[in-house]
Amino acid sequence: MSKPLELLVFGTGAVGSVFGWRTAQNANVKLSAICRSNYEIVKNRGLTFRSNMWGTGSMRPVRVARHSNELSHVKFDYVVCATKNKPQEEHALMRSLEPLLSKDTTLVLIQNGVEIEHPFRRAFPNHTLLSSICFASCSMQGSTVLQPANIRPHGFHVGIHGNGNTSASKDEERLHTLVGLDPKFKAVDNIAAERWAKMAWNGAWNPATALFGLETQDILQHSPAGTSLVRQLAKEVIQVAQVYGVELPPNYEDEIIRMTEVEASIAPSMLQDLRRGQRMEVETICGTICRMADQVGLPHPAMATAYRTLSEMNLACAETPLPARQDKPALNMSQRIRASVGARIGARIGATAPSVGGLGMQQQQPHQIAA
């Protein structure tokens, strides 16, 4: 009998949990998890899944911990980092990952954004580094993870991020071992281009749904202004990608609309965070595009104003107290935050959601380039 494959998921939000669930369906995989807010649920009850792509199922890792040092004695074959991409927490994240990486551990990144691999490569030059993109819409409700829609036939695309001190043959072997764990995992040659393709979708739909407070189908069916904003944001991301040497398909902004029209309604991660009163990944999605556009002098009026507005909404998330009762509808939190920020940004997005369509008309001054 072959040695079990030791796999750790660091961050058991919806996306990390789905990835862990799928790998754990293999009898040869021994799944562990580092959890934050849902530690008690994962440890004591495990998670259940209702998926459009994979059906129903459940997962209970063999080891569950709150902190890395609790599992530092285990020699993991794969450590899957599935946390939110928050630049301000980068150094703390590297310190947390370090005790989990033995000399033969492969690090897998499942995070939003482009060019996210560089800090991990600098920190861990001697490890195979795989980069993965989730093309399945996932959300978590207590101990249940929902996956109602997907924008590609495969749920996870995985590729090699090279430029380390590892051999190409070893990197390839570890990539194909991982994607071989599930038929809906796909190995890709150019992970950077795949990231830009996902960023075009994320950069359009995440800001628009958060600004309007509406899911994708609500925007498509009931808000011409929202649909126009989605298309404009997508165009600006595509233009940035082109300047940085990544050619996406012609009229890809239209494809972003089409691929979303045919799926069940999606609540992108920014809208989910807003509804829960949590800080959104504004820097990773909007801030990155604005800074990269500023570096090359490329106009990006819609994204610039979305970035400024959503940054203020993030501040309102911190300022707006959570409801005392946890059983109140999550949508109430979104409404409270939008009301809180409305007075400060009324001249920019107006008192009602439809006026957000005017975002595309405003130009911003260059943003400071993040260190």
Give a three-class secondary structure readout of 200-234. Answer: HHHHHHHHHHHHHCCCHHHHHHHCHHHHHHHHHHH
User: Which pTM was predicted?
Assistant: 0.85
Residue 320 confidence (pLDDT): 60
Domain 5-189 has what CATH class? alpha beta
pLDDT along the chain (371 residues), means of 10: 90 96 97 95 96 96 97 98 86 95 97 93 95 94 91 95 86 97 97 96 96 94 94 97 94 95 90 91 95 97 96 80 45 55 43 39 36 30
Smallest Cα–Cα separation from 248: which of 193, 201, 186, 192?
193
Contacts 24+ apart (CB under 8 A), 135-140: 135/198, 136/18, 136/51, 136/52, 136/53, 137/263, 137/264, 137/266, 137/267, 137/268, 138/14, 138/15, 138/17, 138/18, 139/14, 139/267, 139/272, 140/13, 140/14, 140/17, 140/38
Asked if 18 contacts 138 with a C-beta cutoff of 8 angstroms, the reply is yes
Cβ neighbours of residue 31 closer than 8 Å, sequence gap 6 or more: 7, 8, 9, 20, 23, 24, 59, 61, 62
Question: CA angle at residue 110 from 176 to 60, to 5 degrees?
Answer: 85
Smallest Cα–Cα separation from 165: which of 119, 191, 127, 115?
127
Residues marked active site are found at 198
The pair phi, psi for residue 300, each rounded to 5°, is -155, 60
What token pair was written down for 24?
A: 């754990």
Residues of the chain with CATH 1.10.1040.10: 194-321
The stretches of 65-135 forming alpha helices (DSSP H) are: 90-97, 118-123
What token pair was written down for 103?
A: 């000399």
Residue 162 confidence (pLDDT): 81
d(CA 125, CA 138): 31
What token pair was written down for 22?
A: 């799928």
Topology (CATH) of 194-321: N-(1-d-carboxylethyl)-l-norvaline Dehydrogenase; domain 2 (1.10.1040)
Q: Output b/e per residue, 58-68; b: 16+ Cβ within 10 A.
A: ebbbeebbeeb
Report the sign of the C-alpha dihedral through residues 40, 44, 50, 55, in that order. Answer: positive
Helix (H, G, I), strand (E, B) or coil at 62: coil
The stretches of 78-186 forming alpha helices (DSSP H) are: 90-97, 118-123, 168-179
Residue 86 confidence (pLDDT): 82
Residue 302 confidence (pLDDT): 96
185: enclosing H helix or E strand? strand 185-187
The 10 Å Cβ neighbour count of residue 258 is 10
Residues of the chain with CATH 3.40.50.720: 5-189
| Residue appearing with tokens 């940035």 | 240
Cβ-in-10-Å burial (0-12, 13-18, 19+) of 14 comes to: buried
The 10 Å Cβ neighbour count of residue 328 is 11
The 10 Å Cβ neighbour count of residue 371 is 4
Smallest Cα–Cα separation from 360: which of 256, 199, 233?
233
What token pair was written down for 109?
A: 């990144």
Residue 286 has what DSSP assignment?
Answer: I
Cβ neighbours of residue 48 closer than 8 Å, sequence gap 6 or more: 56, 57, 58, 143, 144, 145
